[in-house]
Structure 1
């Protein structure tokens, strides 16, 4: 058994070199892991890249297990990968929402009041961003936490996408935020062309990109880590300035 690490919500170990076992870090995460075990077997065949398909192997304590998705965290970006991810997101976002909802996919409630209380006092320009997120669409099945640590690569080719804990019915642009605004021009351009990114989608993706570090501030506060919260605040300020330069 090999310890793989822990995310914000769960810990993971590798068993027998093949199986990833995950356990919730907090009781409120248990329904999330159970939901993945229901939705992912339905969703996986619709997607052009391998994804985890967890099954519940223990109910008390809760443990889910899935086959290891091969590859390493994405660190270098090329056009081939951009086209692959564009095709992946087109397929994911085309999944029928009514069926996803029946299987347990719900909406995502942003902690706006906490953003106002814990982030806004420390930054300028944040009020405009919070105003922009009000009324964004929520009509698409989305990964919800797409970043380089969740997109796997081997020898310049994508091999899978992992960590569907934040899968929900939301704005398609949330899955484009990192891919369009934090990758190479070659990667982002190929993805945009393959997916069919419009100017409106790109602008909404920037909004989600700017909002990302706000969650890091809250998480740092939740676990009593002022250094992590400070890093999050630095990210908030940096990305708000990106918004200013684009206007």
Structure 2
């Protein structure tokens, strides 16, 4: 099975639309011009990266240049919904392998390098200060600003997926069967990929990820910072698209995750 895909252009992704072709291929096209660069990056990075990972991942190629469409063979499965220790160990092993690949080689195959990732992070933090912090209650703004300061100072030292959540981890016949959506892959902080798994997944799953990966306390603490930052993106997405419900939901998440 292929979750959420049909033979019509659709999908709920923020960055691209997708359709299933003859039950075998997934075609993707960008929703915005800047996303086209990311899709093209995937066509360079993923053929090199895929053989180095212990789970199937998409390996896209350019199908059409104008308008841009990239195609990859289906990675079969449904989004992760059952969070057991076996799945946690499988994901922990996957992330350990991903973060261990040669980052210089990853950059040579198209991954955004650390300086570019840090520059983009700085721009994002600045945008959050400008547009999100003023929407928060006065008494929470100091904590929000401290979070942004901490995130801005985090390292960029390994190739990361960049947008890892249960919707991007696939399961087939009860076992983790693949990881998808590498459009945000870059050389960044490996704690980013552990944020959801360690701080928003059920305990047995989180503990299994940590044990298999070999997570140290300092990495857990950095992952918590990234977890707290997650809803901020929802706020700015809602502002960009004129969707007040998304903004409201995002702000609720920001406040819920900020330390008291």
Q: Give the TM-score taking structure 1 as reference length.
A: 0.95
Distance 2:13 2:101 in 1: 27
The equivalent residue for 2:181 is 163
How far is 1:203 from its partner? 0.2
Distance 1:87 1:227 in 2: 37
Distance 2:135 2:249 in 1: 12
Distance 2:173 2:222 in 1: 32
Contact 1:78–1:156 (8 Å) recurs in 2: no
Match of 2:13 among 7, 14, 33: 7
Contact 2:160–2:188 (8 Å) recurs in 1: yes
The answer to whether 1:183 aligns with 2:188 is: no
Distance 2:135 2:201 in 1: 28
Distance 1:226 1:118 in 2: 14
The answer to whether 1:225 aligns with 2:240 is: no
Q: Superposed, which structure 2 residues align to 1:2-151 within 5 Å? A: 2-3=7-8, 5-106=11-112, 107-108=116-117, 109-110=120-121, 111-123=124-136, 124=140, 125-151=143-169
Distance 1:74 1:208 in 2: 21
Moved over 6 A (4+): none
Distance 1:96 1:6 in 2: 33
What runs of 5+ residues in structure 2 fail to find an aligned partner?
Answer: 1-5
Contact 1:143–1:166 (8 Å) recurs in 2: yes
SS at 1:21 equivalent? strand
Distance 2:255 2:48 in 1: 40
Q: Give the TM-score taking structure 2 as reference length.
A: 0.91
Distance 2:217 2:229 in 1: 19
How far is 1:6 from its partner? 3.4
SS at 2:11 equivalent? strand
Distance 2:242 2:152 in 1: 29
Distance 1:67 1:102 in 2: 24
What runs of 5+ residues in structure 1 fail to find an aligned partner?
Answer: none
Aligned length: 242
